[in-house]
Amino acid sequence: MAEVKTAEIKLPPLKKLTNYPEKLAPGHRLCAGCGASIIIRQMYMVANALGYELIWANATGCVEVCTSIYPYTSWKSPWIHSAFENAAATIAGVEAAYKALKRKGKLPTDKKVKFVALGGDGGTYDIGFQSLSGALERGHDFIYVCYDNEAYMNTGIQRSSATPKYANTTTQPVGSESLGKPQHKKWMPEVAAAHGIPYVAQAAPSHWKDFMEKFKKALLTEGPSFINVFSVCPRGWRSKEEEGILVTKLAVETNYWPLFEVENGKWRITYRPKNPKPIEEFLKLQGRFKHLFKPGMESKIKELQDEVNRRWEWLNKLEQLSREV
C-alpha cells in the first residue's frame, strides 16, 4: 500500500486562499444554492495553494452539463467530458498516458499535476461504479470526488442508491401506496475503503477547513483516493437556495453525514458534534421529506434516527478497532 505523505505542509489562511485566481469561471449554469460549485471552488483553493495543476474527467451529471454547453466552457484547466459510466476509466487512461509521455521525455518531470475524476452519486454509486472499482483496484494515481446530491438531479430527480429512505423522488414518488424510496442509502465510502486504497474520506463544504485538509491529503497521496462530499440540491430537495450550507451543516450536526477519513486502513472520525441534534432538524428543511411530518409518521422518523445511530456506532467501532490493530 502506498504511504500517505503527511509532511508538514500547511494551508494558508482563508483570506489568502480566497485571493487565488478563480479557475471555475463565473457564468456557469449551475442552480443558485447548488453545493457542487462550492465544492469545486474549495478544491481549487487547495490546489492553487499547493501549486498543483488539476486535470479533470467529468462524468455526465449536473456539473458537466452546466459548465460545458458548446461552445462555452467554465473550466480554466484541462478537462475532458466522460459518460455517466466511465469517468474513472477515462482519468485512469489520461494518467497512464501522462506517465508514459514523461518516461519518454516528452513532458516535464518537475510539474505538480494531479488527476481528478468528478461525478455525482448516479455516476459514482450506480452507473459508474464498475469503472471506479477497476481504477481503484489498479492503483492509478488519481482522486475520485463524488458530489453526492442523493439522486439523478440532472435527469429529473430520480432515485439512486445514494437516495435516503423515504425521500420523495420522481421515480419513487410519495403517494397513497408509497412513502418514497423504500431502501436506506448505500454507504459508499465503506465500499471504497474495502478496495484497500491509501485514502478515503467523507466531507462537507459547510466544514470547509476539514474538507480542504482532506483534499490536501488526497493531493499528497501517491495512488488512488476517494472523497465523498455532501452536495445540497435545492431543486431536488425542495429546500431554500439560501439555506444550502445550513442544511449541509445540519446533516453533519445530526450525524446523518459524519465526517471521517480512512488513511492507510485506519478509520478516524474528524469531527464530533458536541450535542448531536435529532434527525428532524435536518429533515424539516427539505420538502422531499415533508410527508414524514404528518400525523402518524413519527415511527418513520424514528426509523431514520435509528439508522443514523446505528451507522454512527459502527463508525466509532471501526475507529476503535483501528487504534487496537
Alpha-carbon gap, residue 131 to 135, rounded angstroms: 6
Q: Answer for the pair 163, 198: CB distance below 8 angstroms, yes or no.
A: no
* C-alpha cell at position 60: 455526465
pLDDT at 7: 58
Per-residue model confidence as pLDDT tens digits over 228-275: 999 999 999 999 999 999 999 999 999 999 999 999 999 999 999 999
Q: Answer for the pair 1, 198: CB distance below 8 angstroms, yes or no.
A: yes
Is the pLDDT at 325 greater than 90? The verdict is no
User: Whose grid coordinates read 481503484?
Assistant: 136
pLDDT band for position 6 (cuts 50, 70, 90): low
Measured from the Cβ of residue 108, the count of other Cβ atoms closer than 10 Å reads: 8
Indicate the domain borders of the chain.
Answer: 6-324
Report the mean per-residue pLDDT for the chain: 95
Torsion, Cα of 21, 25, 30, 35 (10° steps) = -10
* Maximal C-alpha separation, the chain: 70
Supply the angle between the helices 87-103 and 129-138 in degrees, to the nearest 10: 30
Per-residue model confidence as pLDDT tens digits over 59-112: 999 999 999 998 999 999 999 999 999 999 999 999 999 999 999 999 999 999
Is the pLDDT at 56 greater than 80? The verdict is yes
Write down the CATH number for the domain with range 6-324.
Answer: 3.40.50.970
> Side chain identity at 269, as an amino acid letter?
I
Where does the chain show beta strands of DSSP type E? 53-59, 79-82, 113-120, 142-148, 174-175, 178-179, 199-203, 225-230, 260-263, 266-269
Bigger pLDDT: 89 vs 6: 89
Is the pLDDT at 26 greater than 90? The verdict is no
pTM: 0.96
* 199-203 and 260-263 strand pairing: antiparallel
